[in-house]
Chains A and B, each alone.
Chain A
C-alpha cells in the first residue's frame, strides 16, 4: 500500500504545522543569513525538533528514539524543503543516525542527537563531484589507533558539527569499495583544519584538512576496511531524505508560482489565463507528483529492507532533483523581473535546489547508478 497510515498523517500534520509556524523563510533562512550566523541555522529550532521527538525519528526505540523510518523522515523533510528551513535534521537525524545504527558509536552519540545538542556531519567528497568510491584520505595504523591525512569538501554543517563521520581509506585503492573505513571524529581534533564556507543557498559547508589527525581504534564506525556498509546505509537514508526535501522545495516553488499566476495582471488579464503558462504549470505539477511518489516508494522500500531499495533510491534522488530544478527555473521565469530580486523568495528556492540537488550526487550521478546497477 502506498498510502499514508493514520499515524503517518498525524506526523505529517505535526511537521507541517511546526515548520509552517516556526521554520519560515523570514524567521529562519533570512534571519540567520542576514545576521551572518556562522552555523547558518538556529540552535533554538534544533532544540524544538528534539522536544517534538523528531531528532529521534530514525533512532531505534530501545535507544530512546521514535524507531520510525525513512517514510516518516521523508514527511518531515518535505515540510523542511517547502519552508527552506535551515537545520541539521537531514545530516544528523537521518543520514548520520543511520550510519551509526547498530555500531558502538551509536550509543556514544544518540543521546546528544536525541537531546538536540549534537550536530553531525558526513565528510565524503574529496573532489568537486560526488564519488564515494574514489576516497583517498589516508588512515594509517599507528599504535592503538589511526592517523588521518587528506582533505574533504562539501561537508555540510562541518564547522558546526560535534561529530564528523569521515570516510577514509585503510586499504585498497581509490575506486574500490573495499578498504574504506568510517571514522567518528570529534570537534576540535588536533590537526584538523576547518574552513567554514558559505554556500549559494546561505547554508554552511566545510572544507576539512587532516594533518596527522590521531584517533583511537574505537573511533571506527563498524568494521575496519568494511566502512562501505555503514556509509551505504547513511547515504541511502541521506539520498532518500534529500529526495523528499527536494520534493518539498519543488512543491513550495510551484505553489508560490501558481499563486503568482493567479495574482499578476498583464495585458489586462491574469497571466494564469494564458495557455502557454497553464500548460507549463500543469506539466510541472505532474512532474512533482511523480517525484513525490518515487521518493515515498524509495522510503517504503528502505523501511522494508527490500532488495530493490538501492535502485529506487537512485531513481528518487534523480527524479526529485530534476523536478525541483524544473520547478525553480519555471518559478523564476514565470515571476519575471521580480523573480530576479533578492527581496522575493522564489530565488531562494533556486539556490536551495542547486545545493540539495548536488548533495551526495546530482541527478546525473544517480541516473548513471541506475544504468550501472542494471548492467547497461
Chain B
C-alpha cells in the first residue's frame, strides 16, 4: 500500500469508531450546524462528542499546521479525509467564521503570537467569531467605511457602527475593519480583533423578510482595544480584508447548492406533472451538475495553487445565482403548500423562509454585480472596470 492508501484505511477505520451515528444523518437545515463558542449549547451529546474527537485530532482544520491546532495534513491527505467524511455522510463537526474566514487571514498576515493565541481556540470551537465589515454607508463600496479607531497611546479607541454582522449577538469576538487614517481611502483601514464583551459594544438583531434575524446592527461606543490586536499592520488592513473576502466567497460558493449538496433537484421533487416545470428543473439540474464539476475543479486548482485570484468571485456569483434558482423551483413545485407561513406541515413556513433567505446569497459577501465587476477587471482585463 502507498502511504496515501494506508492513510485512507486508517482514516476510514478511525471514523467508523469515532463518528457518532447521529452525526452521519443529513442536516435537516442550517439549524443543525455546530457553531461552538462560549455561548454555545450543544444540541446533543453526539454533537459535542464529534466536535471533541475531531478537534483533538486537529481535523476541524485538517490542513492547518499542528502548532496552531490543525491536523498538519498534506493536500492529498486532506482530500482523502474529505472523501471519507463524505462517504459516510458525516456532518461538519464545526461551522465557523473563524475557520473559513479569519483563520486563513491570520495564517497569512498574523504575527506568530497572534497565531498561537487565536488559532487553537478557533480549531477547538471555543471562540465564535463574527465579521464587522459593512456599515450603513459602506456596502458594495466597502472601503468607504467610517468606524473610527483612534490611537490613545496604550490602547485603541473605537467608535462607530457596523451592519449585517452575521450572528453578532451570539459571537464572542469580532474581526473588524476600522478607519485609522482619513488621509487615504483604502490605505487608512486597519484590521482589528476584539472581544464582544468589551464595554461599549452592543448588538441589535435585524428582522429580515424571512422572519429570521441572522444579522445584527453592531454599535461601538468608546470601545477600548489592546494595541497588539491589529492584524497585518496599521493602515494595512485592506489587504487582509480582501484576502479574507476571497475565502468568504469560496465558502459561500461551496454552500451554493447548500442543503441539497449534489443531489438532483428533480429527484428531490419526484414526479413533476407540469411539463414546463419539468423542463425548467431539468435545465436547472444540468446547470447544477455542471457547477458541481466546476467546484471540484476549482478546489483542485486551489489546492494546487493554480487558481486565478479572481476565481472565487466567479464561483460565488455562479453558485449563489444557482441557489436562488433552486429555491424558486422548489417554491413553484410546492405550489400553495409552500406559501404557508405558520403551519405545522411546513414546520413554520420553512420552504418560504428559506427561499427568502437565499435572496441574500447574491448580496452578502459582495453582490453578484460586484463579483461580475471583479471578473471583468481581473480575468477579462476590460478597460476601466
Using a CB–CB cutoff of 8 Å, the interface residues on chain A facing chain B are 1-3, 258, 261-262, 269-270, 272-273, 275, 278-279, 281-283, 285-286, 289-291, 293-294, 296-297, 311-312, 314-316, 318-319, 322, 363-364, 366-368, 370-371, 374-376
Contact = CB atoms under 8 A, between A and B. Distances in A.
Given A286-B375, A315-B286, A367-B286, A376 B297 contact: no
Contacts, number: 137
Contact of B287 (A275, A283, A289, A319): A319
Contacts of A315: 285-286, 289-290, 293
A296 B292 CA distance: 12
Contacts of A319: 286-287, 290
Contacts of B314: 282, 285-286, 289
A282 B381 CA distance: 10
7 contacts: A272-B383, A282-B314, A293-B290, A312-B293, A363-B286, A370-B266, A371-B266
A282 B380 contact: yes
Contacts of A279: 369, 372-373, 376
Contacts of A281: 376, 380, 382
Contacts of A294: 289-290, 293-294
B384 A376 contact: no
B84 to A, nearest CB: 16
B372 A282 contact: yes
Contacts of A289: 294, 314
Interface string B264-306: 1011011110000011011101110111011011101100101
Contact of A270 (B267, B296, B384): B384
B332 interface: no
Interface in B311-354: 314, 317-318
Contacts of A297: 293, 296-297
B74 interface: no
Interface of B: 264, 266-267, 269-272, 278-279, 281-283, 285-287, 289-291, 293-294, 296-298, 300-301, 304, 306, 314, 317-318, 369, 371-373, 375-376, 379-385
B308 to A, nearest CB: 10
Contact of B294 (A269, A273, A290, A314): A290
B53 to A, nearest CB: 29
A270 B381 CA distance: 13
Given A262-B382, A278-B373, A282-B372, A290 B290 contact: yes
Contacts of A282: 314, 317, 371-373, 375-376, 379-380
A290 B281 contact: no
A374 B373 CA distance: 37
Given A279-B372, A281-B380, A293 B267 contact: no
Given A279-B369, A374-B267, 16 more contacts: A2-B296, A3-B300, A3-B301, A272-B382, A278-B382, A282-B380, A286-B318, A290-B293, A293-B297, A297-B296, A312-B293, A319-B290, A370-B266, A371-B278, A371-B281, A376-B278
A282 B321 CA distance: 14
Contacts of A316: 290
A279 B321 CA distance: 14
A367 B373 contact: no
Nearest to B306: A3
A370 B290 contact: no
A289 B271 CA distance: 32
Contact of B300 (A2, A261, A290): A2
Given A3-B304, A279-B376, A273 B290 contact: no
Nearest to A314: B286
A316 B272 CA distance: 23
Contacts of B285: 315, 367, 370-371, 374
A318 B385 CA distance: 32
A279 B296 CA distance: 25
Given A2-B297, A371-B285, A374-B285, A291 B290 contact: yes
Contacts of B298: 293
A292 to B, nearest CB: 8
A239 to B, nearest CB: 13
Q: Which A-B residue pairs are the 8 nearest by beta carbons? A: A294-B290, A297-B293, A282-B375, A376-B266, A273-B384, A278-B376, A293-B294, A319-B290
Nearest to A316: B290
B89 to A, nearest CB: 18
Nearest to A317: B286
A261 B382 contact: yes
Contact of A296 (B287, B297, B383): B297
Nearest to A369: B282
A327 to B, nearest CB: 13
Contacts of B373: 275, 278-279, 282
B291 A290 contact: yes
Nearest to B375: A282
Contacts of A370: 264, 266, 282, 285-286, 289
A91 B369 CA distance: 42
Among B278, B304, B384, find the residue whose CB has the most chain A CB atoms closer than 10 A.
B384
Contacts of A322: 286
B380 A258 contact: yes
A289 B314 CA distance: 9
